[in-house]
């Protein structure tokens, strides 16, 4: 069962949300209730839920602040915001921080809430399946000549679940088309928030980190293979030869061809 935390300062509304849904039929269970954001944040710290359904406007800590603080502290439950017609600036902010959906209180129905819960249940199942699949993949051999050697990161980076997911995705899929937008969709958070959080936790932009991973892998190909430069760039995710050479030179101070001539047979990586 997915755990749900209900957060609403109006007891009547909170009870209504709890009573109108047959939670277990949809794979959920209400694990806790809170009357304000501060109380809810303490409950999230103690027993992290899978889903938080929260009012946006509450005294003290509002729903947007609760979402922001939850993300900053490294918790990643889905959020559904309960709102009134006049709250749409708050809704916009909540979506920037990665809220999954919002529901208008005045028009809230069993069907709208059930549909939202089905959608979130499917997302949680996909996330769980992805993690299980990742856990079943054997680790790459440490002496593989083509293994990715990435910039070392401080320990606090890998302790943030959403940033860790992005880092792992980049390492696993660096030859593919990766953008801030695609990564924000992957972790279901706003683009601006992901961009800011990634920079805060790693000290560099997401794209700069991606370039480092790609160039580090390109270095392995340049040293340990005779692949043409254009093919090396293509294999690590640079579809444009000139752009590959430009980024490679920016990070290593020489072109791929020059690097190959100077370092053939000698393993190297770009430091972060």
Is residue 181 over pLDDT 50? Answer: yes
Is residue 12 over pLDDT 50? Answer: yes
Q: What is the mean pLDDT of residues 243-261?
A: 90
pLDDT of 156: 42
pLDDT of 143: 34
Is residue 160 over pLDDT 90? Answer: no
Q: What is the mean pLDDT of residues 212-230?
A: 89
Q: H or E stretch including 134?
A: helix 110-136
- Domains of the chain, first to last: 2-129 (3.40.50.2300), 155-263 (1.10.10.60)
pTM of the model: 0.52
pLDDT of 45: 94
Instruction: Say if CB 45 and CB 87 are below 8 A apart.
Output: no
pLDDT of 54: 94
User: pLDDT, tens digit, for every residue of 55-92?
Assistant: 998 988 999 999 999 988 888 899 998 887 666 677 77
- Percentage of residues in the chain with pLDDT exceeding 90? 33
Q: How far apart are CA 60 and CA 7, in angstroms?
A: 13
Residue with tokens 């340049």: 222
Is residue 142 over pLDDT 60? Answer: no
Residue 164 burial by CB count (10 A; 0-12/13-18/19+): exposed, middle or buried? Answer: middle
Of the two residues 263 and 177, the one the predictor is more confident about is 177
Q: How far apart are CA 19 and CA 267, in angstroms?
A: 63
**Displacement of CA 187 from its chain's centroid (Å):** 3
Q: H or E stretch including 32?
A: strand 28-34
Query: What are the residues whose beta carbons fall under 8 Å from the beta carbon of 49, sequence distance 6 or more?
Result: 3, 4, 5, 31, 32, 43, 77
């Amino acid at each position: 069962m997915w755990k749900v935390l209900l957060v609403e300062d109006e007891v009547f509304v909170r009870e209504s949300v709890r009573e109108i849904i047959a939670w277990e039929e949809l794979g959920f269970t209400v694990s806790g209730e809170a009357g304000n954001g501060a109380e809810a944040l303490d409950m999230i710290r103690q027993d992290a839920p899978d889903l938080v359904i929260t009012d946006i406007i509450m005294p003290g800590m509002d729903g947007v602040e609760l979402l922001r603080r939850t993300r900053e502290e490294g918790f990643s439950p889905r959020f559904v915001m309960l709102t009134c017609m006049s709250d749409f600036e708050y809704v916009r902010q909540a979506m920037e921080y990665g809220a999954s959906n919002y529901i208008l209180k005045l028009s809230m129905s069993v069907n709208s809430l059930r549909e939202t819960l089905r959608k979130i249940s499917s997302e949680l199942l996909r996330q769980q399946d992805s993690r299980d699949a990742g856990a079943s993949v054997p680790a790459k051999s440490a002496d593989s000549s083509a293994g990715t050697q990435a910039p070392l990161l401080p320990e606090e980076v890998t302790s943030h679940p959403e940033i860790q997911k992005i880092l792992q995705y980049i390492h696993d899929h660096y030859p593919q088309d990766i953008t801030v937008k695609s990564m924000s969709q992957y972790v279901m958070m706003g683009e601006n928030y992901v961009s800011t959080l990634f920079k805060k936790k790693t000290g560099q932009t997401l794209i700069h980190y991606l370039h480092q991973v790609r160039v580090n892998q390109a270095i392995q190909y340049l040293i340990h293979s005779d692949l043409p430069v254009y093919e090396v760039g293509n294999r690590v995710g640079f579809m444009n030869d000139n752009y590959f050479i430009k980024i490679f030179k920016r990070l290593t101070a020489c072109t791929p061809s020059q690097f190959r001539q100077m370092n053939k047979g000698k393993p190297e990586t770009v430091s972060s």
